[in-house]
Structure 1
Amino acid sequence: MRLLVAGSDRVDAGKTTFSAGLCRERSARGYKPRAGNDYWFDHDDYRRAVADGRLYGKDAKRLAAASPGEVAPEEINPVHRLWLPTPGRGAGLLGRDGRQFVCDRVWTGDDTEFVRNDTVEVPASVSESLPLADAHAVESLPAFNDLMAQLHAPATERVIAEATARDRAVIESYADIARPHPDIVADAVAVVEPRRCRVFDGDRYLKACEVASGSAREGRLEERVDNVLELVEPAATVELPALSQAEQEDPDAIATAYAPAYERLTTVAAQ
């Protein structure tokens, strides 16, 4: 049973809390094919990772901890991007106003590779903690696109194939993107936001993603959740209770609190 979790809010939709509890409730391995965090806004998480010469975020760490067995965050999150605020400098290499990507960590299944942005000044703690001297360096978007096709895409496709082959997998998207990869397979989909979860048949939701991907608004690569939801009706809507910080950090407590939503999700997946 492959279950996809997406969020209709760009920030703090509750995807990872929902996904961690679902992993524990279903004894499923969690996956976060793409993720990122910010050197400034997520500095504590950044420092914990680079203290060991690694780069991952709290979302992948929580999913790995909630999954059965011993799972490293890099195993379930092949591509992680570190961002840096650059106020007043306009759009960066990736066209994001006010922030630039510093580096990417890509787990190939056999090795860890890094990509650094040579158009920004890398913070000293980043260059001191990560092996960026030997990293792939990019200075233009065309060069970065070529490298992502050679390095990032195969790494992501490998993890998507692994998740698809599993009997039980929970795949979490990022930001308000409807699906983290076009090859994803899902038996049911949960779209999470504060206070509620909308449950969708997997085939219908993914077909709606295909339709949305051909729109002039979004192009071919990423579909926003709100655009997809204009094209498909939920099979159910379930209210989500508010959780304390301690409950949000405990997958067993989440599984208990969100049990009605998980039950409805798995019922739709089995249909």
Structure 2
Amino acid sequence: MRVLVVGGDRVDAGKTTFTTGLLDSLDDRGAVGFKPRAGNDFWFDHDDYRRAVGDGRLYGKDARRLAEASAAALASASDRARPDDADAFAPEDCNPIHRLWRPSPGPDTGLVGVAHREFVLDRVGESFVVNATADVPESARENLPLADAPTVSTVEELDEVTRQLHLPMLDGLADRIRETETAVVESYADVALPIRDLAFDAVAVVEPGRMAAYDGDRFLKACEVAGRSPREGELEVHTGDVTDLADPKATVGLPALAGRDRGDPAAVARAYADAYDALLGVADG
């Protein structure tokens, strides 16, 4: 079974909280979570940045939460404790492509077409790509293997590196997802389809206070009809464009959660049980 979780809002839709709870509710199936693309900000997510870069790595808290929830589900499915799971299933396994941003004053949209923030570098698997026009933090230069990393200074150069590195990495991830018996794929921002050439049994569109469950085939067909629209330097399909073209099979309210509960997949699974039942009903139907 494959389920896609996408956001109805661009920021803070609650995708990762929903996904970790779903993984917990599927622990008997050994569910694994994937986030093909992710990113965080040197300024606004500085603690997360420092934690990862201090270990010579680059990932965000969303990928870390998915890895932890996946490892717990795998251990539960095996019906025995496997203390090495948390190390064996790392954030980078969930999230092969991670982008580091930092604030950029002024109206200039920069290399990837975003005002007030600049793309600094990408981790693609174990490789890195550096924006030659960005202010790369010294801590990143000291702790990450950037000396021999390719640099890009134009959109054309970034597009070429994307063809050489990013797309093959996503193709490999798609193969891994196909081989996973129960996979939950989380998108980024309000992008409707974070990875191509995969079928999904059901799609959850999550926004504050609500989850709408869609038939996977119909959602993907709506993505095709919606086409692609330019944003952030890429051609992407966004959730609102797709949901205008498809009707949900079920809509369920999501209660507000305290901070300690949002960080506890088991608590989320209990609070969102009705939504998960409706979503799995669509997937199994």
Say whether the fold is shared (TM-score over 0.5): yes
CA contact (8 A) 1:213 1:219 kept: no
Q: Aligned AA for 1:3? A: V
**Mapped partners of 1:197, 1:86: distance in 2:** 34
Is 2:99 the counterpart of 1:85? no
Displacement of 1:221: 3.4
127-136 or 79-88: bigger deviation? 127-136
**Mapped partners of 1:185, 1:46: distance in 2:** 33
**Mapped partners of 1:216, 1:86: distance in 2:** 21
Q: Aligned AA for 2:254? A: L
Match of 2:93?
A: 75
Secondary structure of residue in 2 paired with 1:100 = strand
Q: Aligned AA for 1:97? A: A
54-63 or 112-121: bigger deviation? 112-121
126, 135, 145: which is aligned to 1:121?
Answer: 135
CA contact (8 A) 1:214 1:220 kept: no
159-168 or 29-38: bigger deviation? 159-168
What's the CA shift string for 1:113-161, capped at 9, x where partnerless?
Answer: 0111111221212211211112111111101101111101111111122
126-135 or 184-193: bigger deviation? 126-135
Q: Aligned AA for 1:53? A: G
Q: Aligned AA for 2:95? A: N
Displacement of 1:163: 1.1
CA contact (8 A) 1:23 1:170 kept: yes
Structure 2 unaligned regions, length at least 5: 76-84
Percent identity among equivalent residues?
Answer: 56
Is 2:53 the counterpart of 1:50? yes
Structure 1 residues 218 and 92: CA distance shift in structure 2, 3 A: closer
Is 2:9 the counterpart of 1:9? yes
Task: Number of aligned residue pairs: give it.
Answer: 267
Match of 1:103?
A: 121
Please report the RMSD computed on the Cα atoms of aligned residues, expressed in angstroms: 1.7
Match of 2:66?
A: 63
Structure 1 residues 178 and 186: CA distance shift in structure 2, 3 A: same
**TM-score (normalizing by structure 2):** 0.90
Match of 1:165?
A: 179
Q: Aligned AA for 1:128? A: E
Match of 2:37?
A: 34
128-137 or 225-234: bigger deviation? 128-137
**Consecutive aligned runs of 4 or more in structure 1 exceeding 3 Å deviation:** 214-221
CA contact (8 A) 2:209 2:253 kept: yes
Structure 1 unaligned regions, length at least 5: none
**Mapped partners of 1:240, 1:36: distance in 2:** 25
